[in-house]
Amino acid sequence: MQTTISLEIQRYRPEQESEPVYQSYEVPLRKDWVILDALNYIKDNLDGSLSYRWSCRMGVCGSCGMMANGTPVLTCATFLETYAPGPIRVEPLINFPVIRDLIIDMSEFITKLKQMKPWIVREEEQPLSDGEYLQTPDQLTEYKQYSMCINCMLCYAACPIVGLEPGFLGPAAIALAQRYNFDNRDQGKKQRTEILKEDNGIYECTFVGECSIVCPKSVDPAGAIQRYKVAAAAEWWKSLLLPWGNR
Amino acid sequence: MKTRKSIDPFWWSLFGTGGVIAALCLPALLFLNGVAIPLGWIEAPSYEHVLTLVKNSLTRLFLFVVISLSLFHWAHRFRFTLYDGLQLKHLNQLIAVLCYGTAMIGTIASLYTLWGL
Ligand code: FES
C-alpha cells in the first residue's frame, strides 16, 4: 500500500533565481487529501517558504487555481489519489506572469474584467420609493449559469487563444458580460457589445472549448461566447441592412 | 476605434451558416453521389434526368448556397488554422486575402458553372 506521494512544485523566488526551478516534496498520500492539503502540509512541516494562494478550501473563492500535471484545476477540489502513484507536477496557472512560486499576477485579468462592467448598468435608476426590481424565476434562469463564475481563471490558463493573443478579453470576462446582458434589470448590453465586437473581443475566440471543460462551476464560457457571436453578427447585418434603425 | 475586426461579424456569419449548411447537406450529398450511386445501391439516374434537375432554379440556388457557404466556412477555419495553429500572425493580411479570396473565386466559378448549364 502506497503511503506517500511526491509533488514536484515549481518554485520561483525572484531574489534567489532568475528562472523557475522544480523542487520535490514527499507528502502522505491520504484518501481524503486534496492537492491543497498537501501544499499546506509542506508549508507547515517541510518548507515554510513555499508561497501559494488559497482561502475557502471549498471551491468557492477561486483563489487556489494551479496547474496539476499540466491541467488547470482548483487544488482544493482535486484529490491526491487521482494522481497516484504520482508524482504530481504542480505549477502556477499558465498564460499569466508569475510573481512568486505558485502565485500569478492577475492584474491584467482584473483590468479586462472591469472593461466588461460586470455590474448592473442602468440608464436611469428607478427611485427607491418604487421598490425593488422584480424578476421572475424564468428571468433568473436566463443568466444564472453565468453568475456561477468564481473568477478562478482556470479558463484563462486553458485557453490557447489567451496564450497567443494576450489582449484577448478571455472566457470568464465574456461569460460575465453575458451574465449581465441576460439580466432583465440590466441596460448595459450595448456598451459591452461595443467593446466585445472589436479587436480582442468575441471574434478572437475560435471555439476550442477548453474553457468550458476546465470550468469547475459549469459556467460554459465557450457557449456564452458563441451565443454572443450569433447576437453580434445579427446586429451587424441589421445595421447594414437597416442603417436608419441605428439609434 | 474602428479596426479590421469590425468586419469579423460578417466573416463569422458566413462561417457559421456555412458550417450548419455543410454539416446538414454535404454528408447526404456525398453519400448519394459518392457511395450509394457508385456502389449501385441506388440506380444511377440518367444524364438528362440530372441535367433537368440541376437546371431547375431551386436546385441551382440550393447547390450555389451549399458550395459557396461551405467554401466560406472552410476559408474562415483555414485562416485561423494558419494564423493561430501555425503561428503566422505577421502574415495575417495575406492569409485573409488568400483564404477568403479562394472562397470568392469558388463562389464565382460555381455561379458561372451552374447558370452556364
Ligand atoms: S481555496 Fe477557495 S476555491 Fe480553492
Tens of pLDDT, residues A210-229: 999 999 999 999 999 999 99
Nearest by CB to B9, which of A160, A200, A232?
A232
Nearest residue to B32 via CA among B41, B22, B19:
B41
Question: Which residue has cell 485562416?
Answer: B79
Tell me how close the Cα of A98 comes to any Cα of chain B, in angstroms: 24
Fold (topology level) of A4-104: Ubiquitin-like (UB roll) (3.10.20)
SS3 percent helix, strand, coil of chain B, rounded to 5, is 85, 0, 15
pLDDT at B1: 38
Nearest residue to A11 via CA among A3, A2, A21:
A21
Tell me how close the Cα of B13 comes to any Cα of chain A, in angstroms: 6
Q: Is the interface score ipTM higher than 0.85?
A: no
Measured by CA distance, the residue closest to atom 1 of ligand 1 is A57
Contact yes or no for A23/A9 (Cβ under 8 A):
yes
Q: What is the pLDDT of residues A157-176, one digit of tens each?
A: 999 999 998 899 999 999 99
Fold (topology level) of A107-245: Fumarate Reductase Iron-sulfur Protein; Chain B, domain 2 (1.10.1060)
Q: Which of A63, A66, A93 to mutate to test the pocket of ligand 1 (most atoms within 8 A of CB)?
A: A63
> Distance between CA atoms of B117 and B110, rounded to whole angstroms?
11
Q: Tens-of-pLDDT digits for all 247 residues of chain A?
A: 779 999 999 999 999 999 999 999 999 999 999 999 999 999 999 999 999 999 999 999 999 999 999 999 999 999 999 998 989 999 999 999 999 999 999 999 999 999 999 999 999 888 999 999 999 999 999 999 999 999 999 999 999 999 998 899 999 999 999 999 999 999 999 999 989 988 889 998 999 999 999 999 999 999 999 999 999 999 888 888 887 765 5
Contact criterion met (CB < 8 Å) for A160 and B84: yes
The burial class, CB within 10 Å (0-12 / 13-18 / 19+), for A196 is: buried
In chain A, residues with a C-beta closer than 8 Å to the C-beta of B13 are 233, 236-237
Domain boundaries, chain B: 12-115
Q: What is the pLDDT of residues A85-111, one digit of tens each?
A: 989 999 999 999 999 999 999 999 999
> Distance between CA atoms of A111 and A96, rounded to whole angstroms?
13
- Give whole-number Cα distances, B87 to A79, A121, A206, A230, B82, in Å: 36, 39, 14, 27, 7
Nearest residue to A109 via CA among A58, A63, A68:
A63
Q: Which of A61, A66, A148 to mutate to test the pocket of ligand 1 (most atoms within 8 A of CB)?
A: A61
Question: Hey, which CATH number is domain B12-115, 3.30.460.10, 3.40.50.720, 2.60.120.10, 1.20.1300.10?
Answer: 1.20.1300.10
pTM, entire model: 0.87
Angle A38-A39-A41 (CA atoms, 0-180°, nearest 5)?
60
Nearest residue to A93 via CA among A15, A24, A172:
A172
Confidence category of residue B3, pLDDT binned at 50, 70, 90: very low
Q: What is the pLDDT of residues B75-112, one digit of tens each?
A: 999 999 998 888 887 888 899 999 999 999 999 999 99
Domain boundaries, chain A: 4-104, 107-245
In chain B, residues with a C-beta closer than 8 Å to the C-beta of A238 are none
